[in-house]
Chains A and B, each alone.
Chain A
């Protein structure tokens, strides 16, 4: 059964037609990546899935439930969480409190505890800084916190918006290997990335987006060898 399926989604910001008929799907267990240049509409897709924006047209189904009519808080409870673009951690809360906020939609105290432990094992740096204010973490640590916080909702589908943005190459490699780990532990991932090279190494499939439309799709291998992708996103000539 397909996990997530978008059909002909149109999303607007006022008069700006940001998504012009997006259709895509994500199968259980996959890592699917969305590639595209700035302003192509990648963030808009994630926000539409999570109910933070309402598409004007089209349907979104998650495990056969219609998402486009549900409020954001119900969608989180269904098992979709997001590490948003720009991280958006709570700067005046500690690392611990940020993680607790990530589990806001849950009430199983015991499960929250094991998931906190799991998140801190994935990101040992956060364990060292458990009582530090989120706003005083370094950029990379904030990115880790944003991903860990998203995991605290125990999602079945994890949405990651540019997790490598602004990180040093070392850290980028590390973050992608953690993403791989999260996927290996059974979480399906929809990954938005500027760093196409890295994204295509962890992803199974990918979609290429241009000004609100999908122009190319295929397995990661196909995309890696595709002429357009090589030129536009992998920086080859």
Chain B
């Protein structure tokens, strides 16, 4: 009960914040999304015998959320807008926007509650709801003029990464700090195969599979030297790989390859002309474009839609959504498979797993390969979507952010990992920039003109910027999270049990010493 109230307040606060920052019809959109979610949470763990009880719970949750939205709309329209230099809205307009949020949230709660009341088919219906939301989202987004689709595409790209890393870290228990390397390898493979850089313009639908396969092979190659390492040592080596790969891509710009035997003879005889040149003879061959990267990269095309355009988000959105759904299906099957059980066993105890007849080498390499495979997917899509790639995109912070998503959501749990991804990415790419913008205009119109001291004014103008505090906020979230809920938002049952009985775990540790 207390849990339900707590989560309801958190959702309410998020909805209110959304309205305050974005204004307009964002209340209705967030009311739709979170109203459904709130109703779902309200019905969790309860015995719902009829549609009526479900509806009561759902409407309750939706209405509670709607009230938050209505209040936030009033505050935003009357008080907040004037302080940012825009004119306040009329009473009718404010009531329309806020009222729409309230109604939509309540209706969504009603629908979800009714669905939860349907008894045994509950789970399937929840999935159907999720599907409808995901499919209609970009259309609603356009209708409401909230412009969130571009960000959601980014969220989904990272969802692919988080799902893949979850295999390595969550399932097999191998701490990988250099996961961005495989993202880079997928993206660069796409770059090589479908750009003027080396004059290959292969079809995207083929290239994306090649990119994933190449990343998987890279996973095996980079994984092989780490097989004998555990824990901290493994983390450090993977960290190194994560740093090396972008550096290699940054520097493969002056390639000249000679046939080796003739090259040796040539240098022995002091006659450089004798060496037989194979690649980059007239002028060193530029493979990766260095810091400037590869640009442009070919885009996917489909019969009716034609080539995907950069400003038109709909096809991109559905494509990456499809990739995510495909990955979720594949990964959830993997978990229950023989391979998935072998991963669970080596995560718990390598020696015992090996005594059970599990091939440690093969099992670990498969974890690296499968994890990298999905990063390759993400990389290929990313390259085509941005239509360009640069080495700086794939630095250490990407590996860390993806790892945070996995840990925040709950190691080894697909739902949790996706939730962690959505929360971190939405906060980072949607709310924080918008907050920065709102604060800036607020500062410029309402605060700075009233500050007499020029030094203080300069200080305020330059230092109030949430974007600069991005990493700080990030770290803060993690620290708080680890204290409040170390098992993640949606923990998998095993890990929860383990964290709740700390002496058990330390015993296991002593035993394995």
List residues of A whose CB falls within 8 A of some B CB: 50, 52, 71-73, 75-77, 81-82, 84, 86-93, 97, 100-102, 104-105, 133, 135-136, 149, 153
Given contacts A104-B342, A104-B345, A136-B504, contact A89 B498 (CB under 8 A): no
Contact B356 A101 (CB under 8 A): yes
Contact A52 B508 (CB under 8 A): no
Contact A81 B355 (CB under 8 A): yes
Question: Shortest CB–CB separation between residue B335 and chain A, in angstroms?
Answer: 13
Q: How large is the interface on B (under 10, 10 to 19, 20 to 34, 35 or more residues)?
A: 20 to 34
Contact A105 B356 (CB under 8 A): yes
> Could you name 7 residue pairs across A and B whose Cβ atoms are closer than 8 Å?
A84-B351, A91-B349, A91-B504, A101-B345, A133-B497, A135-B504, A136-B497
A98 to B512, CA, bound (A): 17
Given contacts A87-B511, A88-B349, A92-B497, contact A76 B356 (CB under 8 A): yes
A136: chain B residues at CB < 8 Å are 497, 501, 504
Contact B348 A52 (CB under 8 A): no
Contact A135 B351 (CB under 8 A): no
Contact B359 A71 (CB under 8 A): yes
A76: chain B residues at CB < 8 Å are 355-357
| Shortest 3 CB-CB contacts between residues of A and residues of B | A76-B357, A105-B357, A88-B352
Question: Shortest CB–CB separation between residue A119 and chain B, in angstroms?
Answer: 14
B263 interfacial contact with A, CB 8 Å = no
- Selected contact of A100 from candidates B341, B357, B494, B507, CB within 8 Å: B341
Question: Shortest CB–CB separation between residue B34 and chain A, in angstroms?
Answer: 34
B118 interfacial contact with A, CB 8 Å = no
A82 to B359, CA, bound (A): 16
Contact B348 A93 (CB under 8 A): yes
A91: chain B residues at CB < 8 Å are 348-349, 498, 504-505, 508
A100: chain B residues at CB < 8 Å are 341
Question: Shortest CB–CB separation between residue A97 and chain B, in angstroms?
Answer: 8
Q: How many A-B residue pairs have CB under 8 A?
A: 85
Contact A77 B351 (CB under 8 A): no
Question: Shortest CB–CB separation between residue A150 and chain B, in angstroms?
Answer: 8
B358 interfacial contact with A, CB 8 Å = yes
A90 to B173, CA, bound (A): 14
- Selected contact of B345 from candidates A52, A81, A87, A90, CB within 8 Å: A90
B511: chain A residues at CB < 8 Å are 86-88
Taking CB atoms and an 8 Å cut-off, the chain B residues in 346-366 that contact chain A are: 348-349, 351-359
A123 to B357, CA, bound (A): 23
A73: chain B residues at CB < 8 Å are 354, 357-359
B356: chain A residues at CB < 8 Å are 76, 81, 101-102, 104-105, 149, 153
A81 to B354, CA, bound (A): 11
Contact A135 B498 (CB under 8 A): yes
Smallest Cβ-Cβ distance to B354: which chain A residue: A72
Contact A88 B504 (CB under 8 A): no
B342: chain A residues at CB < 8 Å are 104
Given contacts A73-B358, A102-B356, A104-B345, contact A88 B351 (CB under 8 A): yes
A149 to B357, CA, bound (A): 12
